[in-house]
Amino acid sequence: MIDDLESQSRNWTKRLTELQEDLEKRLSEASDDQIREKIEREFAEQVLALEENIELGRKTLYEIQEAGGNQLEELRKTIEDWLPSNTN
C-alpha cells in the first residue's frame, strides 16, 4: 500500500513536470497575450489538481507512518478507494 501510494505520488510529480514543460513550450509558441492567458488558464486547472493530489498523498503517507492498528486499516481502505486501479 505504501509502495503504491509512493509510486502514484511519483507519477503525479512526473506528470506535473511534464505539464509545466508543455506549458512553457506552448507559451513560447503563442502568438499573442490573449492566447497566452487562455493557455495559462487551461494548464492552471490541471496543475492545481495534480498539486492537490500530491499534497494529499504526502499527508496520507505521513498519517500511515504515524498510524497504528485500526487506524492503519481505515487509512488502507481510504487509499485503496482513492488511488486509481492502474497507477501507470
Span 1-50, pLDDT tens digits? 677 778 888 898 999 999 999 999 999 998 899 999 999 999 999 999 99
Structure-block grid coordinates of residue 50: 495534480
- Give the model's pLDDT for residue 48: 92
DSSP code at position 29: H
Distance between CA atoms of 55 and 68, rounded to whole angstroms?
22
Average pLDDT (81-85) is: 75
- Give the model's pLDDT for residue 75: 74
